[in-house]
Amino acid sequence: MTRVWKWNRPVTVREVLEDLQQERSIAYTTVMTVLDNLHQKGWVRREAEGRAYRYEAVSTRAAYAAALMNDAWSQSDNPAAALVAFFGMMSDEQRQALRDAVRIVQGPETPDTASAPDTGDENPGTAQDGGGR
């Protein structure tokens, strides 16, 4: 996938092979098999061009990473503990990126929520906290 994303356009097995061979020896059939496996898994689409195929990424690298993280997290028998352990492995920069991402997903704060204290109750003013309206 890294090579397909790197090219950022539909690529042939031959192009990926030549790119990889700059770093190591690899067989054409190996690259062809890997791209075919990626196609069968739905990570790349392909179009016939003559006797060959051109392969193109179906999603971005970020979406792929998110899917991998979601898959790993969903397999945990204790998702909260898995998240705590994962966050504990993060660098300061990664934790800041996480905070930024949460802000983006949550959207802009309204004046009411920006100044309200965080009580852990998502529904302030309910009978549960004694402030029923």
pTM here?
0.58
Closest CA relative to residue 6, chosen from 40, 57, 49, 41: 57
SS (H, E, C) 48-92: EECCEEEEEECCCHHHHHHHHHHHHHHCCCCHHHHHHHHHHHCCH
pLDDT digits (tens, 9 = 90+) for 104-132: 999 877 655 555 445 444 444 444 444 44
pLDDT level of residue 64 (50, 70, 90 thresholds): confident
pLDDT digits (tens, 9 = 90+) for 14-28: 999 999 999 999 999
